[in-house]
Structure 1
Amino acid sequence: ETWTGIWSPWPKTPDTMSDVGGDTNLASVRSRAAETLTALEATSIPDDHWSWIRKSMFPLPTPPSPLWSPTDRTRYFDANGFLHVRAFVSPQVVEEMKNEMRRLAEELWNPGEEGKTRVFRTDEGQVEAQGSDDYFLDSADRVHFFAEKDAIDEDGKLREEFRGDKIAALNKAGHGMHVRPGAFHDYAISREVGSLVRELGWVDPVIPQSMYIFKQARVGGEVTSHQDSTFLFTEPHQTCLGLWLALDDSNLENGCLWVRPGSHREPVRRKFARNPEHFGGDRSAPKMVFENIASSENLRKVPWDGTLPDGSDPPCCDGLFQAGFVPVECKAGDLLAFPGELDHLSLPNRSGKPRHTFQLHLVEGPEAGVKWAES
């Protein structure tokens, strides 16, 4: 197992470059990304170590503390807001997860049945699509399925081209994948996951949510700029940890993750919260809404929250770089770990290759003095 925030430029991958503007543009984006990531790696991290999860300074101990001592990986994670661990799981684990997901979808998802065809959105239609949908809101301890908006026709049915392969229409499955016995559960309680989470400084980690993201070839939608703590809000401080496991090679062609280094030090801007209008008696109002909780000054600094920065489009993605984002390409089996306040997104997948991922979200539990926000 190795890690990087950077290092070598990614290997050239065969692709259909007409989708993103040609080899020259792709090479330019990769070069800019490598320059940014290399600079992060070269930046000296002060000996006084700031722990994101513990919200305090930790001078590097000499000799190491018998309880917890930050490693080089921990220091990089806390300084920059993400950690790329290469070959975190074996190819066998990757295949087991993909096979189990296909089996679950074949057995449990029947998009022709009333109430089963739901679309998942992260754009301006998110509150309408998910804010009052019990199928979405009741999925915490089970496996529910959500389709890509471009795979559903105006009548809410699968478009004809997906009827022979319904799985190709899926956006995601969640949010209790880790609850069911099988490959996802085994991974969630694995030594590898537990060891990394402890290394990063979590004391009483619990798993409230897991999901499988398909990012399908050609119809895989964008995931707009967001902070995971918007949806997994804890008190008295934020403790969400995202573990983003690549099950396919994830690259510029098929919609890899873009992160904004250092943004994990910014406050949470929005909270997905219970709507007082609905629970006050107006049943026509959505159950859940986005509540702005940051100062107006902080909101002005990130005008793209919930959308994409202007100029994000391939092939050049200039707007993303100008806003401070950088793409992190991964091989199947690689892991990206990042705190819940990190700003991140991904672009649509218009390539001929899918980009499957399995994602765990953890938060600190009561033994760490942390609780869910009441709203």
Structure 2
Amino acid sequence: MSKFMMFHPESKHVDINNFFKEHGYAVIERFYASDECDQLIERMKGIVDKQSQDNLGVFYTIHDEEHNKNKHLFDSGDKISLFLEKGFDAKTSRNNLFHKLNKVGHALHDIDPIFSQFSRKPALAKLSKALGIKKPLLVQSMFIFKSPKVGGEVVPHQDGSFLYTEPESVIGFWVALEDATIKNGCLMISDKGHFSPLRQRFRKVNNESVMEQTCNEEFPEVDLALEVKKGSLVLLHGRLPHRSCANMSEKSRYAYAVHVIDGHCHYLDDNWLTRPTSMPFVGF
């Protein structure tokens, strides 16, 4: 196992917060029970089975030209949308679809009751307040697949680039629904990397995305592997560089992530993820 600090569910919030401020991340083991994780995976299988082919898009990385005009992505802020791994064709991927997906997002927490309950766990609401988020708003949620031999690499990035507020406030809550190891593509982070500046802003301009370079400083080494057990919760500061390797193993690495901002901060209109006024962001 990699060497990193891990907290227990009964740990004091002040200790978690102090570590989070210093290192940009924190890991709380057994935050979710094994059966809670299993229920979420089973629910996702049911969601995928009921989806139409029209709700299939391909997940392109920020380095792909197709990413700039990805309407399926831009329209997903108030929906449950399916994204295939790059290399699969939406027209021919219905067979064994579950194992070809990159992720499903981005309003699972507001539309599906099982995902809403999981995302609004009372202990998570208390933790958000303890981390200094005065008015927590759940902005997006994602079921992340990393299926065996399929789950692709996620390049180093900062969540604040994609969900930008003034002042910056986004925090990522990442849950291991299965054991995450180096072999199956666990999270990799840059310890204390959140003290470095935000390097990019992913903006939506005229229905196309623009990756605006805000700082030319290179990322620090993103080399701390967070090998965690099923049910572990990983907290990620909005400026913390993180990534994951491709899953080259025979074991899946299902995970779930929800991102929270402070409602007292200004969520900019040119963020890629938007919602109609009829479906505003809400809290716990």
Instruction: Please say if residues 209 and 361 of structure 1, whose CA atoms lie closer than 8 Å, have aligned partners that are also in contact.
Output: yes
Displacement, 1:123? 5.0
Instruction: Please say if residues 195 and 239 of structure 2, whose CA atoms lie closer than 8 Å, have aligned partners that are also in contact.
Output: yes
Pairing 1:42-61 to 2, within 5 Å after superposition:
none
Letter in 2 for 1:144: S
Between the aligned partners of 1:334 and 1:194, the Cα distance in structure 2 is 16
Pairing 1:239-250 to 2, within 5 Å after superposition:
239-250=169-180
Q: Report whether the alignment pairs 1:373 with 2:268.
A: yes
Helix, strand or coil at the partner of 1:104: helix
Between the aligned partners of 2:92 and 2:225, the Cα distance in structure 1 is 32
Give 1:257's match in structure 2, choosing from 152, 163, 187.
Answer: 187
Displacement, 1:373? 1.9
Between the aligned partners of 1:268 and 1:118, the Cα distance in structure 2 is 29
Q: Report whether the alignment pairs 1:213 with 2:167.
A: no
Between the aligned partners of 2:133 and 2:63, the Cα distance in structure 1 is 34
Displacement, 1:324? 4.9
Q: For each residue in 1:34-68, what CA deviation from the matched residue of structure 2 results, as whole angstroms up to 9, or x when unmatched?
A: 2xx37x99xxxxxxxxxxxxxxxxxxxxxxxxxxx
Between the aligned partners of 1:347 and 1:124, the Cα distance in structure 2 is 16
Letter in 1 for 2:39: E
Task: Quote the residue 1:291 is aligned against.
Answer: 212
Task: Quote the residue 2:63 is aligned against.
Answer: 124
Between the aligned partners of 1:100 and 1:116, the Cα distance in structure 2 is 17
Q: Report whether the alignment pairs 1:170 with 2:101.
A: yes
Taking structure 1 as the reference length, what is the TM-score of the superposition? 0.67
Query: Which structure is larger by alpha-carbon Rg, 1 or 2?
Result: 1
Between the aligned partners of 2:150 and 2:79, the Cα distance in structure 1 is 25
Which structure has greater helix proportion? 1
Q: For each residue in 1:207-227, what CA deviation from the matched residue of structure 2 results, as whole angstroms up to 9, or x when unmatched?
A: 110010001110110000000
CA 1:324/1:106 → structure 2, altered by over 3 Å: closer, same or farther? closer
CA 1:141/1:260 → structure 2, altered by over 3 Å: closer, same or farther? same
Displacement, 1:70? 6.5
Calculate percent identity across the aligned residue pairs.
29
Task: Quote the residue 1:136 is aligned against.
Answer: 73
Between the aligned partners of 2:188 and 2:92, the Cα distance in structure 1 is 30
Which structure has greater strand proportion? 2
Task: Quote the residue 1:14 is aligned against.
Answer: none
Q: Report whether the alignment pairs 1:89 with 2:7.
A: no
Q: For the aligned residues, what is the CA RMSD?
A: 2.1
Helix, strand or coil at the partner of 1:301: coil
Instruction: Please say if residues 61 and 67 of structure 2, whose CA atoms lie closer than 8 Å, have aligned partners that are also in contact.
Output: no
Task: Quote the residue 1:331 is aligned against.
Answer: 229
Helix, strand or coil at the partner of 1:336: strand
Instruction: Please say if residues 132 and 288 of structure 1, whose CA atoms lie closer than 8 Å, have aligned partners that are also in contact.
Output: yes
CA 1:109/1:193 → structure 2, altered by over 3 Å: closer, same or farther? farther
Letter in 2 for 1:165: N
Q: Report whether the alignment pairs 1:158 with 2:88.
A: no
Letter in 1 for 2:43: E
Give 1:191's match in structure 2, choosing from 119, 122, 132.
Answer: 122
Between the aligned partners of 1:373 and 1:223, the Cα distance in structure 2 is 25
Instruction: Please say if residues 119 and 129 of structure 1, whose CA atoms lie closer than 8 Å, have aligned partners that are also in contact.
Output: no
Q: For each residue in 1:216-258, what CA deviation from the matched residue of structure 2 results, as whole angstroms up to 9, or x when unmatched?
A: 11011000000001100001x2100000000011001100000
Between the aligned partners of 1:231 and 1:324, the Cα distance in structure 2 is 19
Helix, strand or coil at the partner of 1:118: strand
Helix, strand or coil at the partner of 1:363: strand
Q: For each residue in 1:263-296, what CA deviation from the matched residue of structure 2 results, as whole angstroms up to 9, or x when unmatched?
A: 1112211111123xxx3xxxxxx611101112xx
Task: Quote the residue 2:46 is aligned against.
Answer: 103
Helix, strand or coil at the partner of 2:102: strand
Instruction: Please say if residues 187 and 193 of structure 1, whose CA atoms lie closer than 8 Å, have aligned partners that are also in contact.
Output: no
Instruction: Please say if residues 120 and 129 of structure 1, whose CA atoms lie closer than 8 Å, have aligned partners that are also in contact.
Output: no
Helix, strand or coil at the partner of 1:96: helix
Q: Which runs of 5+ in 1 are unaligned?
A: 1-9, 11-32, 42-68, 280-285, 303-321
Q: How many residues align?
A: 266
Give 1:234's match in structure 2, choosing from 144, 148, 165.
Answer: 165
